[in-house]
């Protein structure tokens, strides 16, 4: 619509035409979207209002999918709703119809991820860093560090000398370094997979950070091709991801704003045909 996201609550009428009259498939991130960001990611919990709204929305939306960098197993401990689907590790694994489906490890050499994570552990000894191995990807969290800028700079310097760096995709989020294979498996895969399996007339995609841009880009391709309507929503919080705001159609403020968005969907889409 524009070259930067517009406040959803201030431009609801304009966004109604994007969503259309169909009940939208909902693809939504977890950390920073359904849950407040916590210094230690293991402490994150889903916002109670968002949980209640998801439960109500699951009774009539064609699908609700939680799309996250966390593992599916981790997501299931955070969101105990049988009606939702889970896409973990940026889409490398998914849980649908009661079954865990993962990318074939035979086709993926995951060793470079382990090697890089171990290298960073040995090279960067700053306090407050959490090194997380998620099998199909890895993360280094530095929200607990005393100096976020120093932590990021030190990690970036270590990456300059890291082994097999050309075989990996490295990117930065909110106080987090993400590591995954150059396989093309990302949140865009979740968008394609949902569209292929359900053929929804409309999609609502909601996220707050760098990895969500892959999902937004894939959705925009589908929308530009005229095969689906829908809306992309960025969650605006400190620190703000400016690249995400340029990509998304709309934004809401913080997790509280996500609750207001979900409440709007509940009140305005439940009776649509």
Query: Across residues 238-249, what is the average pLDDT?
Result: 90
Query: Across residues 172-201, what is the average pLDDT?
Result: 92
pLDDT tens digits along 129-156: 999 999 899 999 999 999 999 999 999 9
Does the structure show a pLDDT above 70 at 5?
Answer: yes
CATH architecture of 6-103+185-269: 3-Layer(aba) Sandwich (3.40)
Helix axes 187-198, 212-224, angle to 10 degrees: 40
> Are residues 202 and 165 in contact, defined by beta-carbon separation less than 8 angstroms?
no
* Residue-level pLDDT at 104: 65
**pTM: predicted TM-score of the whole model, two decimal places:** 0.92
CATH 3.40.50.1000 spans which residues of the chain? 6-103+185-269
Q: Can you name the CATH fold of 107-181?
A: Alpha-Beta Plaits (3.30.70)
Range with lowest mean pLDDT among 65-74, 98-107, 163-172, 219-228: 98-107
Residue 149: how many other CB atoms lie within 10 Å: 9
Question: Which three-class secondary structure state does DSSP give residue 2?
Answer: coil
Question: What is the spatial distance between Cα 184 and Cα 263, in angstroms, rounded to a whole number?
Answer: 34
pLDDT tens digits along 47-98: 999 999 999 999 999 999 999 999 999 999 999 898 999 999 999 999 998 8
Query: Across residues 110-131, what is the average pLDDT?
Result: 95
Contacts 24+ apart (CB under 8 A), 48-53: 49/259, 50/255, 50/258, 50/259, 50/262, 51/79, 51/81, 53/259, 53/262, 53/263, 53/266
CATH 3.30.70.1020 spans which residues of the chain? 107-181
Q: What percent of the chain has pLDDT over 70?
A: 97
* Residue-level pLDDT at 107: 67
């Amino acid at each position: 619509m524009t070259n930067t996201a517009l406040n959803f609550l201030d431009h609801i009428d304009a966004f109604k035409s994007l969503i259309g009259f169909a009940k939208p498939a909902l693809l939504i991130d977890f950390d920073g979207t359904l849950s407040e960001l916590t210094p230690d990611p293991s402490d994150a919990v889903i916002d109670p209002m968002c949980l209640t709204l998801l439960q109500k929305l699951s009774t009539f939306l064609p699908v609700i999918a939680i799309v996250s960098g966390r593992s599916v197993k981790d997501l299931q401990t955070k969101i105990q709703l049988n009606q939702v689907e889970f896409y973990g590790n940026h889409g490398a694994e998914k849980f649908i119809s009661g079954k865990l489906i993962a990318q074939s490890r035979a086709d993926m050499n995951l060793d470079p991820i382990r090697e890089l994570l171990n290298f960073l552990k040995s090279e960067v000894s700053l306090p407050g860093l959490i090194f997380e191995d998620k099998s199909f990807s890895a993360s280094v969290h530095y929200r607990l560090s005393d100096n976020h800028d120093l932590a990021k700079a030190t990690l970036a310097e270590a990456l300059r000398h890291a082994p097999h760096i050309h075989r990996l995709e490295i990117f930065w989020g909110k106080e987090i370094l993400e590591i995954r294979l150059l396989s093309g498996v990302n949140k865009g895969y979740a968008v394609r997979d949902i569209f292929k399996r359900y053929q929804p007339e409309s999609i609502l995609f909601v996220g707050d950070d760098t990895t969500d841009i892959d999902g937004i880009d894939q959705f925009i391709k589908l929308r530009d091709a005229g095969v689906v309507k829908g809306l992309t929503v960025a969650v605006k919080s400190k620190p703000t991801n400016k690249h995400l705001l340029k990509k998304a159609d709309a934004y809401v403020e913080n997790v509280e704003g996500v609750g207001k968005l979900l409440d709007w969907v509940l009140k305005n889409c439940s009776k649509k045909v």
